Structure 1
Amino acid sequence: MPQSPLAADPAFSRGREFTESRGGARGPRSEFQRDRDRIVHSIAFRRLRSKTQVFIAPDGDHYRTRLTHSIEVAQIGRVIARALGLDEDLTEALCLAHDIGHPPFGHAGEDALQAAMAQRGGFDHNAHTLRVLMRLESPYCDHPGLNLSWETLEGLAKHNGPVANPNWALAELDGAYPLDLGAWPSLEAQVAALADDIAYDNHDIDDGLRAGFLALDDLLELPVLADQYRAIEARYAGASIEQRLRELVRSRIGLMVNDVIATTQANIAGLGSAADVRAQDRSMVTFSPGMAAEERTLKAFMYDRLYYHPDQLAAASHARDVVSRLFAAYDQDSSILPESWRAGLPDEEPGRSRAIADFIAGMTDRFAMDQCARVYGAWPEGLRNV
């Protein structure tokens, strides 16, 4: 499909924070392809395989992690980007990197770091994604960070739209390399954000069913899911309940993707360039009003039945305790940090605490539990509920 004039064009990228020599360039790739490949090859991306998506440190091999979730988001994002004539490589890069800033144990770990850092500027996983990619992971000889393109960094910074009041981490990075935080990002970034919603709205149902936190009768309480399931039941009379439920998840994703494509095509009619997209006062990549209402209903259902399930809340409480205890231990005695982190630990606040938070945020679930056992002499309890 011909590329839309609204697409981000890698040939006209605004560049990178640090000038790079193209001598010995590895293959004929666009700027956005390079970004995607740098993300895929990063240590931070690999660590996502052992970070919580919904269930903390699950024993089962079939539950999603931040890594598999990010790959699924990228698949959905590429489908939408292709249908709209957008740059698929930029979209994929944004989808793959969007959760890199998550600490161990997902939002429970983030809550604990935010509390520990409340007097030192706080902690936010979206801003930390930029901090990891721009400063903390530095595999190259001639510049810090992965030195991603402006368009990729901008899209990650505005994960949920324009940022009016950036926290300290994002403000520092924006001061060094301005990302135009007050404007809407590219259509590719907007696609990545909605692909994330579509993926977790539906795949969390799949994991909730697998874990026994959700049942078919629960899903049938929602009219939109009940109607869809009855149609699947009639069409596949000989299929098992498990097969029908997986078909329900797949078909729901398809309906949401098609809705986004059709609605966005109507929203962008009349726009002439990528600059026109950024000049708008709202997102151009949206659900239709009807689908948006259904999505809000589904989210409310998932919070009630899965995310706020008593077992989930209990596990999250234990996870927050692990992160809080680790921060307290390192804050009290920095000699127990690895030597590589001790060597660069600032003497003054808030830099010292922020460096400790950087170390903890990079941990996987299992590494955090190992460190808690090493520091406190006992393996943390209550973290597994599936």
Structure 2
Amino acid sequence: MNDRLKALADAGVSIWLDDLSRERIETGNLQKLIDESGVVGVTTNPSIFASALSDGEKYAPQIKELKAAGADVDTTVFELTTKDVKDAAEILRPVYDATNGADGRVSIEVEPGLARDTDATVAMAQTLWNKVGQPNTLIKIPATVEGLPAIAQSIAAGISVNVTLIFSLDRYRGVMNAYLDGLEEAVADGKDLSKIHSVASFFVSRVDSEVDKRLADDSPLRGKAAVANARLAYEAYEEVFSSDRFAALAAKGANAQRPLWASTGVKDPAYSDTLYVTELVVANTVNTMPEKTLQAFADHGELHGDAVTGTYDDARQVIADLEAVGISYDEVVELLEVEGLDKFDASWAELLETVSNELDKA
């Protein structure tokens, strides 16, 4: 295993790959990344699936079968994506077993169009959970206002959840509260809490992208907002999961909901391509990386120990300094959520179009 990536894992960071394709599964590439790069989890989204489908021929036989059976586009998308997730989960099952369920996870997202519909999200989460049928699956549910009760209900039903699209600290606290609500209901229903896991995906690079374009080119605040925001999220995590409320659940077998740093590929070439890895190293977290970022860290990534705990006052100062120059934290994170949902919808439309074209060719 690569020395830099091993050191990252030894620091308490679980390395998950933000990509999946049938090509990776069938060629042994995913297994190689597990063996040599310390990858212990996989996340997916509609854009990833659309890219995989448009770039590879591995899906052609299943698409042909589905077309012959009269499957429509939605059914085809469902069957193709759940097969990939199931197959990847089987490959990662030894990691899941070795880590008591913390890692070895593969995430699949509910249809983005359901993000503002609590009941439909809950139903789709259950459908995906049942279809994949692997205990090391995570169902991705967006952290919208309507998503919070869906998270609680899914956790209560014994479904492990990857909460996605978190930007604001207030919403993150709502996510953690929903997780604890779900665990408390699961206890009341007699469920085994030790089998329920969750991560909370806090988006990183998009915060800098939005804030930086509002700053002067020579501002010392450029490239500071995203890391500060994530560090304050970790402070909130420490507070909630050291509380008496969680302690009571932990005594019954509950697992803490780990923070997951998402969107960690650097978008500004002026910054180090490993910025959102190096500056967010801290125990009990997940960093889900595009392969490009994974390779960059393996090649030249640097570790400086715990980069998060003890930084909270400095992080708060960054947010205060941004407010002082007229950049509203609340306005930025609200905008990013709206844009994030729009991007999810666009990605889903792209996936449907890609699959429709493949069906036409089959």
The answer to which structure has the higher helix fraction is 1
TM beyond 0.5? no
Structure ID, larger Rg: 1
Q: What is the TM-score normalised by the length of structure 1?
A: 0.30
The answer to which structure has the higher strand fraction is 2
